[in-house]
Structure 1
Amino acid sequence: MRKLFLFFLLSLIAVSWVKADEGMWLLKELNRESVARMKELGFTFPVNKLYDEKNASLKDAVVIFGGGCSGVAVSDKGLIFTNHHCGYGAIQKLSSVEADYLKNGFKADNQQQELYADGLTVSFLRSMEEVTDQILPKVPMVLSEVQREQAIDSISDELLRQYDNDPFTSARIIPFYSGNKYYKVVYDVFRDIRLVVTPPSSVGKYGGDTDNWMWPRHTGDFSVFRVYADRNNKPAKYSVDNVPYRPKYVVPVSLGGVKEGDYAMTIGYPGSTQRYLSSFGIAQQMESENKPRIEVRGAKQDIWWDAMTKNDTIRLKYANKYAGSSNYWKNSMGMNEALVKLDVLAQKRQLEKRLSDWINSNEKNRAKYGHLLKTLEETYTGSTDLARYTTYFLETFNNGIELIRFANTILQFDMDGTEEDKSEFINDRIIESYKNYEPKLDRKVLPVLMRLYEQRVPAEYLPDIYNKIKTEFDGDYDKYADWLFANSQFTNLPDLMKLLKNVDTETLVQDPAMELALSTKDMGYEITERMMSAYENMMRGERELMAALMEMDSKKNFYPDATFTQRMSYGSVKGYKPRDGVWYDYYTTEKGVLEKYRENDPEFHLEPKIIEALKKRDFGRYGAKDGTMRVNFLSDNDITGGNSGSPVFNGKAELIGLAFDGNWEALSGDIVFEPEMQRTISVDIRYVLYTIDKIMEAPHIVRELNIVK
């Protein structure tokens, strides 16, 4: 909840002290200490070839895949390796019950058979230019935190105006180091992306939710796409005349494998971290965000999962939505558990005690920061209950009941717009959404979530629609749901199309679904207004806390917090000790894949040909020296959400794996890096190539790669 309202704040909370090999480093800002440590660990690649805007460099090969993942260019014909779960939405969209690529996988025998993934983009980093001096001097010091951000946004819009009408360029102004530095980051956006190879979900999603965030892992989490460009190698809309893109830099793929202690480096696009969130903010996140999210999503997902396992059509419609919802549902559980086990709150409070002593050490510090910790404590503790109600509201009405989201989308429909604009809105915003919607399933979700919301929040936070349910339906949410879905024209696409074409806005808002949406929207505004003063104090307090910590430890090396910009982390291949008497090795093999197999289980089933191939153990050049097939491996790289699909490199900057997950014991990693516990889980590139070559029978794809040993 707080992330939605304070996203721009949390993207500013930007630095941390370096512990072990902690850090998500900007390639453009690597310091001597980091480079020295990289070389100590085994890095031999030329440092000047990591980032170069004038000449081809490694940064040119690492891409933003879609809207929230990473990927890597591995051939001079535009092949991109990323995770299966990153391509999941595109694969789902291309699938049908008759051609179920999620279930059965897909391979293109030639480029003509590759499938265009409508709406999917791949973005290559063009440049990063510091623009701090063009922003901060223009921001008045007397503004509130919200006004300050609005002013920065306005200035940023002017700096980016030159890119407004270019569909193939994406540009953003990104704050770093607690808003003390700003970069203009520019990307080349390619919009003709085609599916080349994807394994069956029994490989790409092996273990499902049960194994998500867990080790040991046995998941072949990869998919292969190709970027297409025009004849001049420039981004272009989809066309049969387009040709494979020729990347500036192509990553060689290593068959050398990994062993304990080997250098490991990830480059990708981590989403966001909160490494310097105050102890008060962490406590509120645990109690008022994570716990309500776990409860509401759990109730919704139980209903979805039951329907998905019984009906293939519903499974295809809801596969991507379920995966996205359940990922952060389980993440919230793991985060709370890890924060407690690692005693993170005590560590933060110890740091804040040291800060308090520093503040009180002289009059200058007291004058500048004397109010800070008390204000933060009062703000967070005073808003704990309201923050919890807000999360219940958002998870129920914004993220839970789909019909409300559809109605809110339709509210943006311009009845008086041109026919061209209306047609574009309907095609892009409505038709696509309804393709993956099952009204009968939403009908089951609605009464469960509305009843749960009533049980968890005081009556004053109930939208007005609850009065209608009480007076006209005797408080029976199932009766209300039956009435709503029987009388709303929003529950199926044909009726909605007729409604949009033949009625005015006044008639439209009388639909029962719109009545529900408007009622919840009104309450949303009211909750936000009540929280606004707390948000303002949180934003200012966290920003000042960061400034105070940086001032207190001015000789420390700092790295910017994650902001979905290209970052590098370095470390080593290694296992870990999750608890007393237990040691996890750094790799898994095909033996564990077969051990987990359960026939017809939705999470651990394998097709007979996969079982046969793994039992045969004819791994050839893809096998390890001991004759096994290495499936996944661990490293102590510092990653977070958005790093999915990130290439993992050895010391020569050769591809050895694709990062796809973190470990359960360190799901507190967005808040604190724990070097002895935090691990990155990657799919071994040899398992990827074996699957492409032998399981999917697409050796021509492997032949495209620059293979090294």
Structure 2
Amino acid sequence: MKRVLLILLIVAVKWNAMADEGMWFLMHLKRLNERDMQKMGLQLTAEEIYSINNSSLKDAIVQFGGGCTAEIISKDGLVLTNHHCGYGSIAELSTPEHDYLTNGFWAASKQQELKPKSLSVRFFVRMDDVTQRILSLVNDDMTESDRERTINREIAKIEQENNEGGKYTVSVRPFYNGNEYYYFVYQDYTDVRLVGTPPSSIGKFGGDTDNWEWPRHTGDFSLFRVYADKDGNPAPHSPENVPLHPKCHLTVSLKGFTNNDFAMILGYPGRTNRWMPSGGIDQNVNYAYPAWVEASKVGMDNMKKHMDSDQQVKLDYASKYSQVANYWKNRQGMIDALNEHHTAETKAKDEAKFSKWANRKKNRGRYGEVMATINNYYEQTNLKARHDNYLIGLLRSSTFAALPYSLGNALVYYAQQNQAKRQELIPQIQGNLEDTYNNIHLPLEKDVLGALTNLYASKATEAGIPQYVEDLYQSNNRDLRAYVNAAFDNSLFASREKIEAYLENPDSTLVQQDPLFQLSTALLDRYRESSPESEALEAEFQKAFRLMVEGSLKKNPKRKYYPDANSTLRLTYGKINPLPADPSNDASINYYTTLKGTIAKYKPGDEEFDLPQRLMDLYEAKDYGRYADKAGYLPVNLLTDNDITGGNSGSPVLNGNGELIGLAFDGNIEAMAGDVIFDPKLQRTISVDIRYVLFIIDKFANAPHLVEEMTIVE
């Protein structure tokens, strides 16, 4: 469940809510949810969850690395998140000699904690509604571009007014497809250090095979720590920094839970599209997602053959491969689920009801053409969606699909400057070279670029590929692999040393005639390509979509709604809830798994299902310490019916007292349609039981000092 580069229709909407459906704004909990949550088992007030003036649970929840969620679990800034959320940082800190990704890492003291090059956490301070202020400045006579410019000017003012001289990061976000606007105030900390991580045989147990599946047996967690200056303020990494003392940290519960117990999750869900029309669903199922899946698989296969033969390459590409693989399986699951549940047909029935309402005399002038405009847009862009996903798959997996374009243009600019300006630019260019070329494996990059360019040139032609690429493809007998290999051999961009030599004697002609630069430029120009016709089509669509949402809310004004996910802090609530009994799960009720089930999956030497000998020894001895359930087993994973999506990875699962009982890391493949439509029967959140987390830290890793930091209730 991780961020990837993709052009998607991202709309923020409301949806008719059930008790366990919805990703709710914290500022609205008192009005919309508090009573319902308390009936289900919540023992807290809305003020104890979200308060501007006092410490509350929201102060313990952070956005981690820009794409996941994490929580503060000690007074010394200890951060808990998923193993897969920390994956890139753990891989970055690893070498074949000190392979923390494979073997794990546990700092015996704060002095041993490790600082990745770039990692931050974001604390949520407050939010407020600025809808009236912004929408009072626009009207229906404006073009979409005029409307956008007016709104963006006001957004800039609001962000400036609330950042307190740069102390805070302020973000104004649209909701309900531009029918409402809220601003969010954040504080960012950039000195974040690795404290502990289990070996990948625990943290990623089950690999791609078990990904999105239940029952799961994965210890998907890692520990970090936030550092600040002596006054508790954000500060660049420094030996003088001290552990952050947060306003609030979560209490950890060892009490366990039973079926139907209350459970809530706070986190940063990335994206849902529950207002997506039937035409958009059909486009994804039949055009966009199949291209995504195919391109991802080609990229993965060409990365993995090199990763399997060289441990350093495996470490260097572990994060990229994991991201591609995660969404490869996700998108195939989406195709299957959306087809199986006939989601497009369900949406089409709702749209027919909307159209009937929209064409009543009093509504016709404003809403009568909305659905026709939306449907026309999808018909006109189906082939483009297929093309774009093949191209984005190429850009996502191949470093050298985009690097020569971005770096090459910087080098052309460099060559055009006088000597003084060049000296000013060199440190920035050198820094970029170090970040890029230190972890590049050219044989892998050649295979990935060659294979994916072939796929793009053969499969994306209906919407028009660049003429340059088409000519290369045809002149090389419809196989670009040999051409790409030769292009690397003759390219300025094949090594850091060649570029450093260029900096000594810059000549922009060398860049402009470079074969990788020319290929990359053709791809990126096509990626950014626009026309007056396409811009007009997009503007008509955006206006129609906004009116569809506006009209739908007017049509059913008494329903309780929540905004669609867009990486802002939300709360979702529900309960511990099993799926139908599964004979592959040894648990007596199918809402949890145990270490017995983990051992049953053990396959010696298998990359996905191998296990450390120490874990098996602890199992044989039944040496679970205080982390065993009262029934005697050691719990591993659990199920709740909370409504989550990508970005919620690492989110805390809390009981009715607001105590930590689990760590969300996945959804179930049966509910892969959940980003588009919520299924109360099948939608589940898969989490690591906090007792398994503490067992691994204490008994497996012999790091009880980390457990002693925490506030624990038994």
Fold agreement, TM-score > 0.5: yes
> What are the within-5 Å matches in structure 2 for residues 614-633 of structure 1?
614-633=619-638
Aligned partner of 2:73 in structure 1 is 74
SS in 1 for 2:517: helix
Q: Does 1:594 align with 2:599?
A: yes
Q: Does 1:96 align with 2:99?
A: no
Tell me which of 399, 404, 409 is aligned to 1:407.
Answer: 404
The Cα shift of 1:501 comes to 4.0
Q: 1:530 to 1:5 in 2, by over 3 A?
A: farther
Task: Specify every segment of 5 or more residues in structure 2 that has no aligned partner in the other structure, as ranges.
Answer: none
CA distance in 2, matches of 1:275, 1:73: 31
CA distance in 1, matches of 2:706, 2:426: 40
Q: Does 1:610 align with 2:608?
A: no
The Cα shift of 1:489 comes to 2.0
The Cα shift of 1:354 comes to 1.5
The Cα shift of 1:584 comes to 7.3
Q: 1:403 to 1:104 in 2, by over 3 A?
A: same
Q: Does 1:372 align with 2:370?
A: yes
SS in 1 for 2:223: strand
Q: 1:135 to 1:78 in 2, by over 3 A?
A: same
State which drifts further: 168-177 or 598-607.
168-177
Deviations 1:349-376 (A, max 9, x none): 121122122223x311122211111221
Deviations 1:43-76 (A, max 9, x none): 0013211111111111100001111010101111
The Cα shift of 1:693 comes to 0.6
**Counterpart amino acid of 2:340?**
K
Q: Does 1:478 align with 2:481?
A: yes
State which drifts further: 118-127 or 426-435.
426-435
Q: 1:534 to 1:31 in 2, by over 3 A?
A: farther
The Cα shift of 1:30 comes to 1.6
Deviations 1:437-473 (A, max 9, x none): 2111111122222222222133772323335535764
Are the aligned partners of 1:168 and 1:190 in contact in 2 as well (CA < 8 Å)? Answer: no
> What are the within-5 Å matches in structure 2 for residues 57-68 of structure 1?
57-68=56-67
Aligned partner of 2:10 in structure 1 is 10
**Counterpart amino acid of 1:328?**
Y
TM-score under structure 2 length normalisation: 0.94
Deviations 1:174-223 (A, max 9, x none): 11233232222111111111110100011111111111111000000000
CA distance in 1, matches of 2:426, 2:620: 54
> What are the within-5 Å matches in structure 2 for residues 82-161 of structure 1?
82-161=81-160
Aligned partner of 2:280 in structure 1 is 281
Aligned partner of 1:550 in structure 2 is 553
CA RMSD of aligned residues (A): 2.4
Identity %: 39
CA distance in 2, matches of 1:207, 1:146: 48
CA distance in 2, matches of 1:538, 1:439: 43
Are the aligned partners of 2:260 and 2:575 in contact in 1 as well (CA < 8 Å)? Answer: yes
Q: 1:470 to 1:109 in 2, by over 3 A?
A: closer
> What are the within-5 Å matches in structure 2 for residues 355-366 of structure 1?
355-360=354-359, 362-366=360-364
CA distance in 1, matches of 2:338, 2:208: 21
Aligned partner of 1:307 in structure 2 is 306
CA distance in 2, matches of 1:375, 1:162: 38
The Cα shift of 1:539 comes to 1.6
Are the aligned partners of 1:71 and 1:645 in contact in 2 as well (CA < 8 Å)? Answer: yes
Aligned partner of 2:650 in structure 1 is 645
Q: 1:580 to 1:244 in 2, by over 3 A?
A: closer
CA distance in 1, matches of 2:623, 2:583: 38
The Cα shift of 1:32 comes to 4.2
SS in 1 for 2:118: coil
Are the aligned partners of 1:6 and 1:539 in contact in 2 as well (CA < 8 Å)? Answer: no
Aligned partner of 1:175 in structure 2 is 174
Aligned partner of 2:51 in structure 1 is 52
TM-score under structure 1 length normalisation: 0.95
> What are the within-5 Å matches in structure 2 for residues 168-567 of structure 1?
169-360=168-359, 362-396=360-394, 398-413=395-410, 414-415=413-414, 416=417, 418=421, 422-458=425-461, 461-466=464-469, 469=472, 473-526=476-529, 531-567=534-570
Deviations 1:630-651 (A, max 9, x none): 0000000000110000011000
Deviations 1:403-428 (A, max 9, x none): 12211321452413846753453355
Are the aligned partners of 1:380 and 1:534 in contact in 2 as well (CA < 8 Å)? Answer: no
The Cα shift of 1:77 comes to 0.4
Q: Does 1:22 align with 2:27?
A: no
SS in 1 for 2:572: strand
SS in 1 for 2:119: coil
Q: Does 1:661 align with 2:666?
A: yes
Are the aligned partners of 1:390 and 1:527 in contact in 2 as well (CA < 8 Å)? Answer: no
State which drifts further: 559-568 or 572-581.
572-581
The Cα shift of 1:94 comes to 0.6
Are the aligned partners of 2:592 and 2:635 in contact in 1 as well (CA < 8 Å)? Answer: yes
Are the aligned partners of 2:96 and 2:311 in contact in 1 as well (CA < 8 Å)? Answer: yes
SS in 2 for 1:576: coil
The Cα shift of 1:476 comes to 3.9
State which drifts further: 81-90 or 172-181.
172-181
The Cα shift of 1:512 comes to 1.5
Aligned partner of 1:676 in structure 2 is 681
Q: 1:579 to 1:75 in 2, by over 3 A?
A: closer
Q: 1:421 to 1:701 in 2, by over 3 A?
A: farther
CA distance in 2, matches of 1:34, 1:144: 38
Q: 1:505 to 1:131 in 2, by over 3 A?
A: farther
SS in 2 for 1:87: helix
The Cα shift of 1:144 comes to 3.0
Tell me which of 566, 569, 575 is aligned to 2:578.
Answer: 575
CA distance in 1, matches of 2:118, 2:562: 34
CA distance in 2, matches of 1:486, 1:337: 42
The Cα shift of 1:547 comes to 1.0
SS in 2 for 1:667: helix
CA distance in 2, matches of 1:278, 1:631: 39
CA distance in 1, matches of 2:525, 2:7: 21
Task: Specify every segment of 5 or more residues in structure 1 that has no aligned partner in the other structure, as ranges.
Answer: none
